[in-house]
Every structure is written in structure tokens, then in C-alpha cells.
Structure 1
Amino acid sequence: MKYITAFAAAVLLTCPISVSHADEAAVGWHSVDDIVARIGSTHFPDKDFNATDFGARGDGQTDSQEAINNAIEACHEAGGGRVVVPAGEYRVDGPVRLKSNVNLHLAAECTLRFSTRPSDYLPVVFTRFEGTELMNYSPPIYAFEETNIGLTGSGVIDAQADFDNWWKWKGAWSGTPANALKDGDPDQSNAIDQVRAQADEGVPAEQRVYGEGSMLRSSFVQPYRCKDVLIEGITVKNSPMWCLHPVLSENVIVRGVTVDSHGPNNDGCNPESCRYVLIEGCTFDTGDDCIAIKSGRNTDGRRLNRPSEFYVIRNCKMRDGHGGVVLGSEMSGGVRNIFVEDCEMDSPHLERAIRLKSNSNRGGYLENLFVRNVQVGEVSDAVLRVNLYYAHETGEHPPVVRNIFVENLSSQKSRYAFYFRGLEEHPIASITIRNCTFAGADKPSVIEHVKQLTMENVTFPLE
């Protein structure tokens, strides 16, 4: 009874009032079918190009990077089709560049093992690092301003990152095995400070040149300014940093993908400043957030002003990670109209289920998040977490957070049911929780500076 009393007191401090029905009328679950239909799908000519015909060898020894790229170029020049990489283990010493109208298809028992030598990913390309545009190492799989591209099949892509190569550039990290990364070792921090200062000063992105010596890791798979993107069926392992990272792209499908990557900042899927995204039937087991929706960081995010919007996430499984479905923290361009349904989240090493993170240095907005039919077994922190003091940063750009709707969610074990911390002068505007059960919470929920909180048929069973 002590738990119920403490929780009730915390809720009463917020003076909750009901959210008007008008907040749900303009966009809501009725919008999902239209969003998915708008995304559509890719279409590739019925022509196959076998990478081995261009010199690729699945012997684990021969560098097949040039052969795979030559097959992609030939397919592209012929009007498109499918580049097939047969079963085998392929050494790939540098980036694979996807082209319009080409589906790179990895057959069963095919593994692409990418080089861990940073110099193999030069010259630099136009990319983003944690929400800031720059010229940096190429991602191992990269596309720039292409249309109708695919990365499919049941094969594996493995960047072979570990604490002896890419991951050591992170610096000291809370998830590190003992003595793997240490304070004082050379790391990415100086380059991060420099590129963010350049963004604040208005230096054009093309003049922010990093790469060799910078220790800024690349994402693994990055379609940049692309349209009609399909990533389906593959398994992703050991990424340098963010695993699947579509940026400024439209009509993106990530389906049936397995991500198993436990390094620092190894988020599973980070669609950033994209429109119309479908993520379904995927499994995420990661060293950071399973799915984290981004839209640029601070000055650069506000400069581009491109929100992430119209996302549907469904039928996914989340295992280890910092959060199951996350909005932020690089969200200065805004995040809105996000739908999450029919997902399972369960691991003692999954910290939160639904997480929104921002601060008054980011600006932007997080709005119109709809969650339903989510089963949470165990998380180590909060089932629902909204924290506007993320990373203890402050500034003059308080974010707007409003219209969060959660229904038919059940959880079995957590530290908190809710952890909501708004800003005193800019509180979280509205949260509605319906028909949910939060069992096995160890501590009373934290609810600070929430202007409108509505709970309908919400229960907190005691053991």
C-alpha cells in the first residue's frame, strides 16, 4: 500500500487535466493505413547480376569490394535489377556504394566482412555525425541522392568493429568491459567539439572536413538524401557506430532485419530527418537504443529544419539496449506523427521501453507519439520515460513535448512505471495513458512539470 500511496501523491502534484479529443482528431491511429500506403515499395527490373562474375570471391581472403561495386555499377547502367552475392565469406576492404534501381541481395550463408582500417573508407563523403553534417569517413554501405535502392536477403553484414579498432575512438564508455576503454586515451571528443563549433559559426558543411585523424566513427548503412529505400531480411553485426542510418530520405522500409551489435552508440536503427518510414518485423539487440528517431542536432538541426515524420513501427522485438523506441536526443528539427504498435520489449539489459530525451539546448519538438499493444517483460529503468534534462545540457531552445498517447501496454518488471521530467517554465504539455498495466515497479514514479496527464483504466498490481 505504501507504493500506491506514494505514486498517487506524485500524480496529484501535477494537477492532471484531460487532454481534449481535438488533440487526437487531426492525426491518430486512423492515419496508419494512409501512411503505409504512401510509403509504397521499391521495384527492380527482373535481371540478376552475380557478383562472382565480376570477380567477387567468397573465400574469406580475396578483397571483393571492387568486384561488388563493379557489379552494382553494371546493374545500374543496364537500367537496374538485382546484384546477387552468393553464399560465402567475402572480404570487403572499403565502402560498397549503392546506386539507383539496384537491389544488393545477400544470399543465405553469405557474409560481407568489412575492413576495420579507417583509411579504407577514404576519401571522405558527405555525411552526418550525431546530427551534424560534415565530410567524414564513408559508411561501409553508403548511398547518396539515389532513388529506388535495396539491401536485401538473408545474409550478414559484419563491420567487425570491436574495442581494438573503431570502438576505442568513443573514449571511456559506461558499457565497456573492464579496461577496454580508458579515460585519457585519444578519442573523438576534440573533433566533436570542433565540428559542433563550426556548425554554430555557420561554416558550410562541405568545409567541415574530418576523416583521417579525427576519430569520428561512421554509421554502418547510410542512405543519404535517397528516395524509395528497402532494407530487408539481413543481419547486421558489430557496427562502428549507428547501425542503420537513413538520413534526409523519403519512403524507407526496414523489414525483417536482425541487429546484433553491442558496441558504444550501436543504435539499431536511426532514421534521421526522414519522411514516411516503416520499420516492421525486426529484432534489435544493441549496445544503445534499439530504434532512435533523430532530426539533427542544435544549430545544424535548426538550420536544415527537416523533421522526422510519419513513421510506423510495428511487430518488432527489442532485447538489450538503452531504449526500445526512442525519440531524440538529436531532434532539433522536430519529430512528429510516430506510431508504435504490437512490439515486444524484454531484457534485464533493456533500460527503458518508450523513451523521449531532449533538453533546452536542442529546441525542436516531440509531438504526436502513439503507442499501443506493447508487451514489456522486464526493463531495468522506466517503462515510459520523458526527460527534458538529458545530458545535463541547458540553453535557450526549450523543446516542445506534447500529445503522447499510450494504450494497451503491459509491463511485468521495472524500476519505475513512469519517469516524466519536464522543464519548470516549459512543462511537458500532454500525456494520455489508457488501458495499461504496470506490474512489478520497484519505486514510485517520478512526475515533474507535466501540464496535462490523463490516466484511464491504468493499474499497478502489487506482488
Structure 2
Amino acid sequence: MSIKKLIQKYNQLAIVFLLGFFVCLNCTAQKANPWKEMKLITKSIKQTSFSSQTYNVVQFGAKANTDLDHTEIFRKAIKECNERGGGVVLIPAGKYKTGPIHLENNVNLHIEENAELLFSTNPKDYPLVRTSFEGTECMNYSPMIYAYQKTNIAVTGKGILNGQAKNENWWQWAGKGYGHIKGAPSQQDPENRDALVAMGENNTPVSERIFGEGHYIRPNFLEFFECDTALIEGIKIIDAPSWVIHPMKSNNIIVDGVTIESHGPNNDGCDPEYSKNVWIKNCTFNTGDDCIAIKAGRDGDGRRVGMPSTNIVIQNCKMIDGHGGVVIGSEISGGVSNVYVENCVMDSPELERAIRIKTNSKRGGIIENIYVRNLKVGTVKEAVLKLNMFYAIYGDQSGTFIPVIRNVSLENVKVKNGGKYAILANGYEQSPIENVSLKNVTIDKVETNFSLKNVKNIHFKNTKINGKKIRD
């Protein structure tokens, strides 16, 4: 081994050692300098690397702006690219109709500017794959773009990925609004979502949780399942059936410069779940649900997997419409730690909260070490910071798994209109929300400063709300 390679290997080992050292520190206290740790995390994330060999889909029979189904054409191009050692599968300008696209190792699917993929709205075009729905694993319709246990993969370019999910297509399956007709089948029917959640609770093998046709559970749009070293860069995604970008049980994921415009039901922009070393940067989110929502499994199924989401870095993003800008939960049973948010802008009368953590005693989970700095907020509806251990949107969400929320820090935050509350926090008496700090935070206008229940160790430094300095 050359001296240069020895030095590179030594540096990599040093970074791994330092990360391990930080993880072993006492988690019940705020980190001394979390932003140094963040830089170590971003340096440690593996980058994709591809051969320059290009496989233009036109050479495989693709014809833009026609009614041709390109599913098999794209599959052949990806297969040949993979078998020849990898490279770029190029989709040039034009519109292309297709079913699901499944990536292989060492393939960069590149959608050129002015290219648009129009994904089929016929559920029968989507085979069953191992996936998940709202935090419970199952066999369900394939996502539009999918990779399972792959390494070194990418979706890049300036093109558009169009899920065509509006109303009478996938969205009506949500069961209310979005074109749903009363009495028509939907995910709300007992044999659909409720049946899946029960399977998760009963530890039914995932291979036996068979849904798909006849069950009306919407697929996610772009899902990397148990993948390592992946890049999603530059593309625009519109009108997804459900969650838009979903790294699931994956490691070393970069989402860079992506634009998401999707206002359907459960249209979260990016949902890292059971994943680590995820870097989301330079993106724009305009969504029908949370802009970014960090997940870790639902209830019994989340505890079965027992895999936290950790080392999530979010930088230089813009959040427009959404239920929350950066959200943790509610599918969070495996826990979330080490989240870093910096240099983001959030602003819309339809954005409900800036930073939000949501869980309950059915979910449980430990949520800790959440750091936010250099945040600019124009308008939010409900709260700048919302921490809720009693989240419930439907049905009884109480149980015996009392959650933990600790170590949440906001620094250098400017808010014009904070809505109803600066901080809305609700913890358990036996498990109070611990260690919340605001430093250099200015909220020009808000109806009520705080609504705090069972919050322990909350601190303010150089913080002003409605023109008045706030003290501990």
C-alpha cells in the first residue's frame, strides 16, 4: 500500500474513532460543540462514484413524446449499465411514460433538463416489493423509483419526475378529500391500514404482510431500502402518491438541490427512516404534509426493528407549505438522535410549525440532541417550536411506552410571525421534556409566548419575544 493510501486510511479511521467517541458521551447533557461533530459526520459520509460510460435510453428504443411504455426499455438500459460495470443511464429531453424504475448497483439515472418522466397511474403496473407504509413494513406496490439492498446509486439531473397522483388517481385512496367519493374503498377501511398496523403489533413476518391489489395503500415515490451510498441531486418531483423521498434502513445518503412540489395527502418531502448519515442540503420543499420528517418506525414494528435514525444533517433548505419545516416523528419508536439543522428559510401562511417533535405513549422512543441554528422564519401558523408527547391524529394513541425528549437547542433564529406560540411543549410528569435552550432568538410577533407542561431545564440567552427580553 502506498504512503498516500496509508494516510487516507488513517484519516478515515480517525474520523470513525472521533464519531464513536462523541456517541459515547453522556447523552443526557447538551453537547459541548455539536457543530464540530456535524462537520465530522458530513466528512464521513461516503460519496457516490460512477464510470463515465453513458447508456442513452434512445439506443434501447426510447421515443420521447409518444404513448410508448418505457418501463422495459429503462429496465434493459439499467441492467446493461450494471452488468458492464456501471455508469450513467441517460434520459434526454422529452416526455416519457413509464411504470416503476428499479435501480441496480453503480447506476446513475440521469434525467436531463427538459426531460419528464410520467409515471403510470395504474396500480397493476407496480409489482409487490418489500417496502413500508407510515412506519410499518409490508409487501406493497413498488415505489415509482426503487432500490433494494443496492450500493453506489443515484438519481440526478434537472428533469422532472411526475407521479401524476392527483385526486382521482392515487390521492383519493387517502379516504377523505382529494377526489375521494364517499363509500369508495380507501386506506381507511379496516382491512387496509388498520390490518397492517395490527400485523406490525403482532410481529407477523413481513413476507406475510401482503397488500397491493385490493388494499388501497399508496406507495411512496422514491425509496432506497437497505441501501448504502446514494445520491439524489437536482431533480424536481411533483404529485407523489404518498411520502416523496424515503431512505429506509439506509446509510450514507445525500439529497442535494432537489425541488419537491407535491400537495397531496401524507406528501412529506423527505423521510429518512431507520437511517444514518443522511445529508439533506440546498433543497426546496412545498408539500401537503411535513417538509422533512425524520422517522424510526411505528409502535410494535418500530420496536421490532429497533434501529434509530441518527446523524441527520439539514442545510441551506427552503420550506414553503407544509405541516412542519423540520419534523421528528410521529413514527419514531426506534428513536432519533443527532439532528443538525442550519441556514434554512421557512416562510408560508400555510406552514404550520418550524421545528416539531411528535410522539406518544404508543410510539415511545428516545429523541435527543436536536440542534438548530441560523434559521429565518417568516410566517408559521401554530408554533415556532412544538414538542408533543401526546400526538394523536386518529384513534386511541395511548400506551405504556413513555417517550423521552431531551436536548433541543435553537440558536440564531429570527422569526417575523410565530403564529400562536413561540414554544408549545407537552411532556409527561414521569418523563418531562428536558434541556431546551434558546440563544440569540428573536420572535417579532406571536400571540402567546409559551404553553409548557412538564418541561425541565429550559434556558434563554439573549432571547426576545414580542420586543421583550425573556429570562430563565
Indicate the SS of the match to 1:445.
Answer: strand
Query: Which SS does the other structure have where 1:439 is aligned?
Result: strand
Return the alpha-carbon distance in structure 2 between the equivalents of residues 265 and 297 of structure 1.
15
CA displacement 1:35-63 (0-9 Å, x = unmatched): 00111310001110001111111114211
Over 3 Å counting, the alpha-carbon distance change for 1:343 and 1:60 in structure 2 is: farther
Q: Distance in 1 between matches of 2:212 and 2:58?
A: 31
| Structure 1 position 77 matched with structure 2 position 76 | no
- Offset of residue 22 of structure 1: 8.0
1:456 is matched with 461
Question: Counterpart in 1 of 2:166?
Answer: 162
Task: Please give the residue correspondences for 1:51-130 in structure 2 after superposition, counting only pairs within 5 Å.
Answer: 51-92=57-98, 94-122=99-127, 124-130=128-134
Question: Could you tell me how far 1:64 is from its partner in structure 2?
Answer: 1.0
Instruction: Measure how far apart 1:21 and its partner are.
Output: 11
SS in 2 for 1:59: coil
Retained in 2: the 8 A contact 1:363–1:400? yes
Shift of 1:185: 3.6
Q: Residue 197 of structure 1 aligns to a residue in which SS?
A: helix
**Aligned partners of 1:246, 1:283: CA distance in 2, in Å?**
18
Matched residues in 1 for 2:164 and 2:388: separation?
34
Letter in 2 for 1:277: V
Matched-pair contact (CA < 8 Å) for 1:226–1:250: yes
Partner of 2:386: 385
Amino acid at match of 2:239: N
Report the equivalent of 1:331: 332
Task: Write the distance in 2 (CA, Å) between the matches of 1:159 and 1:300.
Answer: 28
Aligned to 1:9: none
Letter in 1 for 2:303: R
Please report how far the alpha carbon of residue 182 of structure 1 lies from its aligned counterpart in structure 2 after TM superposition: 5.5
For 2:228 and 2:372, the matched residues in 1 are separated by 27
Match for 1:89: what amino acid?
A: K
Partner of 2:233: 232
Question: 1:165-189 CA deviation, whole Å, 9 max, x = no partner?
Answer: 111110125xx5xxx3355442102
AA paired with 1:117? N
- Corresponding residue SS for 1:383: strand
Distance 1:26 1:332, change over 3 A: farther
Instruction: Determine helix, strand or coil for the equivalent of 1:323.
Output: coil
Of residues 435, 438, 451 in structure 2, which corresponds to 1:446?
451
Q: For each residue in 1:267-318, what CA deviation from the matched residue of structure 2 results, as whole angstroms up to 9, or x when unmatched?
A: 0000111110000000000000000000110011101111100011000000
**CA RMSD after TM alignment:** 1.5
In 2, are the aligned partners of 1:418 and 1:446 still within 8 Å (CA)?
yes
What amino acid is the match of 1:188? Q
3-state SS of 1:30 partner: helix
Amino acid paired to 1:162: K
Distance in 2 (CA, whole Å) between partners of 1:114 and 1:444 is 46
Structure 2 residue runs of 5 or longer lacking an equivalent are: 1-25
More off after superposition, 437-446 vs 398-407: 437-446
Residue 445 of structure 1: how far off its partner (Å): 2.1
1:186 aligned residue: 185
CA, structure 1 residues 338+170, in 2 after alignment: closer, same or farther (shift >3 Å)? same
CA distance in 2, matches of 1:360, 1:281: 35
Pairs within 5 Å for 1:256-267: 256-267=257-268
Aligned-pair CA distance for 1:119:
0.7
CA deviations over 1:141-178 (Å, ceiling 9, x no partner): 000000000000000000100110111110125xx5xx
1:95-132 CA-to-partner distances (Å, cap 9, x unmatched) read 1001100000000100000010111102x100011111
For the residues of structure 2 that align with 1:447 and 1:43, how far apart are their CA atoms? 48
Partner-residue secondary structure (3-state), 1:246: strand
Question: How far apart are the structure 2 equivalents of 1:79 and 1:455?
Answer: 55
Partner of 1:311: 312
Shift of 1:365: 1.1
User: Could you tell me how far apart the structure 1 residues matched to 2:66 and 2:287 are?
Assistant: 26
Q: C-alpha separation between the residues in 2 aligned to 1:276 and 1:460?
A: 35
Distance 1:60 1:233 in 2: 25
CA distance in 1, matches of 2:41, 2:428: 32
Q: Distance in 2 between matches of 1:371 and 1:40?
A: 24
The CA distance in 2 between the partners of 1:55 and 1:21, in whole Å, is 56
State the AA in 2 paired with 1:126.
Answer: R
Q: Is the 8 A contact 1:35 1:310 kept in 2?
A: yes
| Count of paired positions | 437
Q: Which amino acid aligns with 2:215?
A: S
Q: Does 1:153 align with 2:152?
A: no
Q: TM-score, normalized by length of structure 1?
A: 0.92
Could you tell me which residue of structure 1 aligns to residue 373 of structure 2? 372
Q: Report the 3-state secondary structure (helix = DSSP H, G, I; strand = E; otherwise coil) of the residue aligned with 1:438.
A: strand
Equivalent residues of 2:28, 2:407 under 8 A apart: no
In structure 2, give the amino acid aligned to 1:359. N
Q: Residues 410-434 of structure 1: CA distance to partner in whole angstroms, max 9, x if unpaired?
A: 1101221111111222211221111
Q: Is the 8 A contact 2:28 2:406 kept in 1?
A: no
Alignment of 1:10-25 (within 5 A): 23-25=29-31
CA distance in 1, matches of 2:410, 2:437: 6
Does the 8 A contact of 1:47 with 1:82 survive in 2? yes
Structure 1's unaligned 5+ residue stretches are: 1-19
SS at the partner of 2:42?
A: helix
Does the Cα contact within 8 Å between 1:27 and 1:368 map onto a contact in 2? no
Post-superposition shift, 1:198?
1.3
Residue 28 of structure 1, aligned match among 13, 31, 34: 34
| Alpha-carbon distance between aligned partners in 2 of 1:140 and 1:320, rounded to the nearest angstrom | 23
Partner letter of residue 388 of structure 1? M
Instruction: Give the C-alpha shift of residue 442 in structure 1.
Output: 1.9
2:138 corresponds in structure 1 to: 134
Aligned to 1:39: 45
Q: What's 2:407 paired with?
A: 403
Question: How far did residue 26 of structure 1 move?
Answer: 6.5
DSSP-derived class of the 2:58 partner: helix
Q: Say which SS state the counterpart of residue 29 (structure 2) adopts.
A: helix
Q: Report the more deviating stretch, 151-160 or 437-446.
A: 437-446
Scaled by the length of structure 2, the TM-score of the pair is 0.90
Q: Is the 8 A contact 2:294 2:309 kept in 1?
A: yes
User: Is the 2:421–2:448 contact (alpha carbons within 8 Å) kept by the matching residues of 1?
Assistant: yes
1:332-356 alpha-carbon deviations (Å, 9 max, x no partner)? 0110000000000000000000000
